[in-house]
Structure 1
């Protein structure tokens, strides 16, 4: 008679934890289905919440941060600069508290180094034993499967998270809006991090100057 003793908790941990790191799905603000438009003089703006998925969406919720896509159309004959003479507020007039692009990335990125904790699975063994018809143990084999699985799971998740974070950072940098010019007659797309736990209506405000 042959019996197999598997460290069930360790194997289940591998199955669950092995897919912990998640890929990053690019947002591509130009392609989003924006909702209602608000206008301030010759400036028209649309926005979109709920852009992230999987690990990034979970981080967004836990950190009290909202990543927002903006579509800003400048129909005037002059340029404006986001964050200077063109500001973002809530529809009720209350100010928006921004996170910088670097802060947004640091708060929402996956912790790739964390996945090396899976090396703790390295001692896991696959044990087989054989007994005769009287129940007397004859042979026992211990196969050190953890030496393959521990490093394998660690490296797989590490590089998966690292590559996802690189893509996330690249898109944040590409659509950086702070101090960016909104040229006359042009439409500009961007991504901004807002420190908030609510999905509140946004609007653009222009600071007029006599100069």
Structure 2
């Protein structure tokens, strides 16, 4: 019998669509869970409660595994270096034309900016997963715990929790 409530939302409904788009190909769902403990005991995942999806236990991944598969690809931004060849022709009247090599600045600048942004986003995602790691959180009786978990599954069966008998 479950004596606490859960609320779940998938990360695809959040503002970061790049991370959400990585969920489907990797068959991983990042789920936010809220647990209000009314069991009379302190809850710790795996010790006295488990999370189920449909009729089977949910395959919850460690943070390192989730962060390894759900991340922005930093090296793909190197393709912006092809902008280095971009030039703007400027007509100086008559048959004279001057070429301004804007790509010498534009290509490396866009590449560095996007690579830094992607690397920072990956770092923040991992930090957030570690900070709200529900697998490592103890939830005392009468309190509410919040956490993020990565679940290896793409079915949409509702999640629920069961208190384990000792």
Interval containing the TM-score (normalised by the shorter chain): 0.7 to 0.9
On the 8 A contact 2:43/2:139 being kept in 1, the answer is yes
1:87-126 equivalent positions in 2, closer than 5 A: 87-90=50-53, 92-126=54-88
Deviation at 1:101, TM superposition (A): 0.9
Indicate the residue corresponding to 2:25 in structure 1.
62
Deviation at 1:179, TM superposition (A): 3.8
In the aligned structure 2, how far is the partner of 1:170 from the partner of 1:60? Answer: 18
Change (3 A) 1:51 1:102: farther
Structure 2: unaligned runs, 5 residues or longer:
none
**TM-score, with length taken from structure 2:** 0.87
Q: Is 1:48 matched up with 2:12?
A: no
Report SS of the residue matched to 1:178. Answer: helix
Q: Which has the larger radius of gyration?
A: 1
CA RMSD of aligned residues (A): 1.9
Q: Which of 49, 52, 58 is the matching residue for 1:86?
A: 49
On the 8 A contact 2:2/2:161 being kept in 1, the answer is no
Deviation at 1:131, TM superposition (A): 7.5
On the 8 A contact 1:121/1:149 being kept in 2, the answer is yes
Indicate the residue corresponding to 1:186 in structure 2.
143
Structure 1: unaligned runs, 5 residues or longer:
1-39, 133-137
**Aligned pairs, how many?**
164
Measured against aligned partners, the alpha-carbon deviations of 1:109-143 in whole angstroms (never above 9, x if no partner) come to 112233123112212222245675xxxxx223222
1:170-209 equivalent positions in 2, closer than 5 A: 170-209=127-166
Q: Is 1:71 matched up with 2:28?
A: no
Could you list the runs of 4 or more consecutive aligned residues of structure 1 that deviate by over 4 angstroms after TM superposition? 129-132
Structure with bigger helix share is: 2
In the aligned structure 2, how far is the partner of 1:199 from the partner of 1:175? Answer: 22
Change (3 A) 1:56 1:170: same
Deviation at 1:188, TM superposition (A): 0.6
In the aligned structure 2, how far is the partner of 1:131 from the partner of 1:180? Answer: 72
